[in-house]
Chains A and B, each alone.
Chain A
Amino acid sequence: MSIPGFVLRNAFRNKRRLALSVSSVAASLFLLVTLQVALRELTNPINDEGSSLRIIVRNKVSLAQPLPARQLQVLERIPGIVAVTPFTFYGGLYKGDEKFTSFAQFAVDPPRTLPLITDAKVPADQLKAWLADRTSCIVGKMTADRYGLKVGDHMRFTGQVYPCNLDLKIAGIYHGTADDRNLFFHHKYLDESLGNPGTVGAWWVRAASVAEAPLVTDRINKAFANSSAEVRAESERAFVLGFVSMWANIKTLIGGISIVVVFALLLVTVSTMSMAIRERFRELAILKAIGFRRRELFAFILAESFGLAMLGAILGAGGAWALFHSLNIQKLTNGLFIMFEVTTRMLGLAFSVAALLALLAALAPMINIARTSVVEGLRTLD
């Protein structure tokens, strides 16, 4: 019998133990990858060209403080700005939802918004209808699918942030943006419903180029410095990262907990695997007695341990990759997670952890077999 054959036979001798060991490695690595993916998604917003090109301008006090609508004239004169629109988070509760609406509604100036949502695909006639009708809106495909909405339907909202309720007619359904959930409607309609307060929630700006975006941000901040409504302009990506920073300790805590989770599972797995090897301690002693060298015994142990760990890694990490790749996570989690992408780095991490695991699991039996004399080993009962 060849040496690899011997190792393989050995591994498959106790099928139940093999299955248990491999599944616990697989379960832990699956969880490790899932946590990594979720953390990355929550703390690292989408970084495409558009999110560095688009700039959000809010009141320096906080996002909840409005800005005067007259700032538009100043903004329009700032060099490097291609497009600017009012951008007000209406924050309405959609009829039928109890407490929480799963999508955002933004009041914008539609003709000014088109350069900002260039990746949104809308049929031309629907777009035209939206521009023409003051009380209409366009809504993302995900939201439309979720509530079973079609063009021509009416959506009724209770204002949670603004003291007005709105009835919006769907003029079009778009798709193709990084987050196909949002709803856009006419800022004029919101203004009228509120009695024309002359304020906006924020401004949405498109810079001429990615290179010029930081300069534009600076120019906007300077333009309103020492005015009655100072602003904070930042790229869309920086804006979203600001939200992430607000989660404060919870973020650190969840990061810490994923480390505990992985550690716990490693502990369990190492013990499981080393048990599989310890079970054959007597056999290893016999092999030693019939002349196998220590080095060869180490090789047997390591080969089996690595085989187990790698099989677990392929099932767990590979399984996570295949699963998240084939599922429509966006739909499944109601848009909480959008990409849910398993990166090569995470797979690398999972496999390195598996290798470490294999080494740790083999360590105790290796030390034991090296230390024990043949006679002692033969006498072992456990």
Chain B
Amino acid sequence: MSLPIRYSLRNAIVRWRSTIATVLGIALVVFVFVLLQSLAAGIEKSSGNTGDPRNVLVVRKGATAESASLISRENFRDLQYFSEIARTAGGQPVISADVLVLVNLPRRNHGGEANVLLRGVTPRGMELRPQVHLVAGRWFTPGKREIVVSAKLARRFANFDIGQSFKSGSATLTVVGWLDGGGSAFDSECWLDADECRSIFERDMYSSFLIRPRDNAAATNLIRRIESDPRFKLKAEREVDYYRQQTMTAAPIKWLGDFLAVMMSIGAVFAAMNTMYAAVGARTREIGTLRVLGFRRRAVVTALLIEGGFLAFIGGALGCLLAYHWNGYTTATMGVETFSEIVFQFRVTARLVMEGLLFAVVVGLIGTLLPAVRAARLPVIGALKSV
């Protein structure tokens, strides 16, 4: 016969004074774990959210990112006649040759400097990226030294308010609008006219091509054709696939989250163990009585395990709740691939919450196991006699 679950739950709550520290301890362990993992999830989500599945992105073979890619104008001339590329009503190929430049700019409030990714973009390139829209001001005028910055970057960098201007290279760029990338990697970019960008930064080459193939089959063909053409040293892949891989920044954060969780859980297991030993110690006579009444050892162990697991579960839930407070909060760091500031949001996903809770319960169960076994091994008569 097993003990009613209520016995375990009520026992866990009745000794709240001594258990509260354990619960809080476990809560903080789970908090740290979930928070760091939600950061990594945010980076992955922002990357995974970028691009149009119909588009194909072309960069130089070997380049880790668009910003480190250089493609010659000959390549552009050759490529635009490929029959796989969709045509506009006027017969123009739907292809955008962009130029990406890293610019070192000061943060707001004298917070040091960081690299910002500028994208010199063509009107076609803007059509191919419908995720990006204007939230304030207006778009840049081609042929003018105007720039539209990401609204999320604008909150972080000096001189990024509409109407302000900043100097880079030989040119002074005036901010005329704010863009929003809808939670994609474009939230970490500033856009200006492609030709203007190439002249300011003296770029003879292009960084990347964004192409809209005629249809899905044409896309597959196009990728194969570009990759195998000996004239090009180019890498073609679907835009969404390219961005999905830009998540190297997340790896060390994940690692740190795991490392801290493991290290901290050692302390948490000790705490849970101590709490449960104390619980068992204080209830020696009660446990003896239960045994006399006919409850088996197994039942006593189970009841105590439920008690410990329940405590840890409360801690885990509290930790997730704390972490959830940060959900959606925008933050930034340097992207490993782009070498520029990337903005993203904390993402406390359902999966992370499950992992956090599971982790807490495991810590609780490990901490309870030894005390529970000790309780089960108590000699019945001795236990009854104890004070």
Contacts and interface: CB of A to CB of B under 8 A. Distances in A.
Given A65-B201, A99-B248, A165-B62, A272 B333 contact: no
For chain B, give the interface size range.
35 or more
A148 interface: no
B282 to A, nearest CB: 5
B256 to A, nearest CB: 7
A200 to B, nearest CB: 15
Nearest to A100: B248
Contacts of A249: 331-333
A26 to B, nearest CB: 9
B271 A158 contact: no
A34 B259 CA distance: 12
Contacts of A257: 32, 35-36, 260
Contacts of A28: 267
A61 B200 CA distance: 11
B298 interface: no
Interface stretch (B86-94, B96-104, B219-227, B236-244): B96-104
Interface stretch (A48-56, A122-130, A258-266): A258-266
B349 interface: no
A375 B84 CA distance: 94
A173 B296 CA distance: 70
A354 to B, nearest CB: 14
A382 B101 CA distance: 69
A27 B39 contact: no
The majority secondary structure among interface residues of chain A is helix
A291 interface: no
Interface string B26-67: 001101100110010000000000000000000010111001
B62 A250 contact: no
B72 to A, nearest CB: 9
A156 to B, nearest CB: 12
Given A60-B104, A63-B102, A163 B233 contact: yes
B115 A261 contact: no
Given A93-B62, A163-B233, A64 B270 contact: no
Nearest to A273: B274
A134 interface: no
Interface in A105-155: none
What's the interface size class on A, roughly?
A: 35 or more
Interface string A265-303: 101111110010011000000000000000000000000
Interface string A1-44: 00000000000000011001101100110010010000000000
Nearest to A258: B260
B264 A261 contact: yes
B323 to A, nearest CB: 11
Given A254-B256, A268-B267, A160 B62 contact: yes
Contacts of A21: 270, 274
Nearest to B322: A260
B25 A64 contact: no
A232 B278 CA distance: 64
A91 B31 contact: no
B3 interface: no
A163 to B, nearest CB: 5
Nearest to A93: B62
B387 A248 contact: no
Contact of B274 (A20, A60, A243): A20
A17 B233 CA distance: 67
A309 to B, nearest CB: 14
A228 B170 contact: yes
A117 B165 CA distance: 41
Contacts of A246: 112-115, 333-334, 341
Contacts of B341: 246, 248
Nearest to A19: B270
Contact of A160 (B21, B68, B112): B68
Residue of B67, B115, B267 with highest tally of chain A CB at under 10 A: B267
A211 interface: no
Nearest to B31: A260
Given A16-B277, A64-B339, A264-B25, A245 B270 contact: no
Contact of B267 (A24, A65, A278): A24
B21 A159 contact: no
Contacts of A62: 101-104, 115
A271 B260 CA distance: 21
Contacts of A100: 248
Contacts of B268: 264, 268
Contact of A275 (B67, B103, B168, B278): B278
B253 interface: yes
Interface in B259-293: 260, 263-264, 266-268, 270-271, 273-275, 277-278, 281-282
Interface in A156-210: 158-161, 163, 165
A17 to B, nearest CB: 7
Given A27-B266, A62-B115, A257-B260, A268 B104 contact: no
B271 A24 contact: yes
B233 A253 contact: no
Contacts of B36: 257
B117 to A, nearest CB: 10
A271 B18 CA distance: 7
Nearest to A24: B270
A255 interface: no
A253 B39 contact: yes
B260 A261 contact: yes
Contacts of B274: 17, 20-21, 24, 271-272, 275
Question: Which 4 pairs across A and B sit closest by C-beta, in order of nearness?
Answer: A271-B21, A264-B28, A245-B112, A268-B25
30 contacts: A17-B274, A27-B263, A60-B169, A61-B102, A61-B103, A61-B169, A62-B102, A62-B115, A63-B104, A65-B169, A160-B64, A242-B113, A243-B334, A245-B114, A246-B114, A247-B334, A248-B114, A249-B332, A253-B331, A257-B32, A257-B260, A263-B28, A264-B24, A264-B264, A268-B21, A268-B270, A271-B20, A275-B18, A275-B275, A278-B18
Given A265-B264, A271-B274, 7 more contacts: A24-B274, A61-B103, A64-B68, A160-B63, A232-B104, A257-B32, A279-B278
